[in-house]
Amino acid sequence: MVIHFLQLNGISPATGTYCKTWMYVEFTLEAVTNYLVAVMSIQRHTLVFRPNLFIIRFKRYLLYYLPLLCCIIYPISFYMGAVVFYPCDPAQWNFTLNMCGDTICFLSGSEVLATYDWIVNSGLPIILIMLANLILIIRVVKQKSRRQKTVSWSKQRRMTLQLVSISSLYLLTWLPTIITGIMQQICPSNYLYGIQEDFISDLTYLNCLLMPWMSLGLLPDFHKWMLKRFKHITTRQNTIRPTA
């Protein structure tokens, strides 16, 4: 939808139904993704320090699958009421802006609901992701020190790099959006809105663009596998000679 908007330099079809659909899909997918990563970051503590906890089926369903399911059901339900069923003024739609001007409907009609959305659905998961990953690194180092074992950074390097990379990505892409969004709810400013709409809001798209490559790059021996595949393809192409 974003690419379609940028290609046409406008909303098409220019209808309120399309705008609501866009808002619902984008807000829901962003919240689901952020909550899933936040819960997985917390669950990683259990997988590292108490891996036997999930062996019991009841605890596995209660502490592992149920939180993940809630991460999907809650955003779908919340934005169904906040976007789809919330009464919007048709005159608010701006078909020349990304997502028809994404500060309308409940974001402009209900200050309480809008502030709740920014803090709980945007800010809270991002903070949990950063804290959970950073605390996990500290816990691993402390545990090794408590057991009087020398911390082998060669063994912990991959996990540390993975956690710091994920935390940094969410920090750089989401923190400016959250800060400006909350500031807009407290003290609206056309100048700040212009900066948010033209520059800051696009940072969040870097998550879906960079996270897959970051995850692949941090897989064990991924670089060796890619290099091996590249050499295999290159060798095969060199051995195939065109016939006269």
Tokens (6 digits) for 120: 């709980």
Tell me, yes or no, whether 162 lies in a domain. Answer: no
Q: What's the pLDDT tens digit per position in 52-97?
A: 888 888 989 999 999 999 999 999 999 999 998 988 888 888 888 8
| Residues composing the chain | 244
**Is 151 a member of any domain?**
no
Least confident of 1-15, 55-69, 164-178: 164-178
CA distance 88 to 162: 42
Given pLDDT bands bounded at 50, 70 and 90, which one contains residue 102?
low
Name the amino acid, one letter, at 41. Answer: S
Query: What pLDDT does residue 238 have?
Result: 62
Is 210 contained in some domain? no
For residue 55, give its domain range.
Answer: 1-104
**What whole-number distance in Å separates Cα of residue 41 and Cα of residue 44?**
5
Considering only CA atoms, which of 91, 77, 103 is closest in space to residue 16?
A: 91
How many structural domains are present in the chain?
1
**92 lies in a domain?**
yes
Residue 83 placed within a domain: yes
Instruction: Please give the Cα distance from 151 to 141 (Å, whole number).
Output: 7
* 182 in any annotated domain: no
Give domain status of residue 98, yes or no. Answer: yes
Helix ranges (DSSP H) in 84-221: 106-109, 111-116, 124-146, 153-186, 190-198, 205-217
Closest CA to 200 of 208, 192, 190, 212: 192
188 φ/ψ sector (left φ>0, alpha ψ -120 to 50, else beta)? beta
Tell me if 229 is assigned to some domain.
no
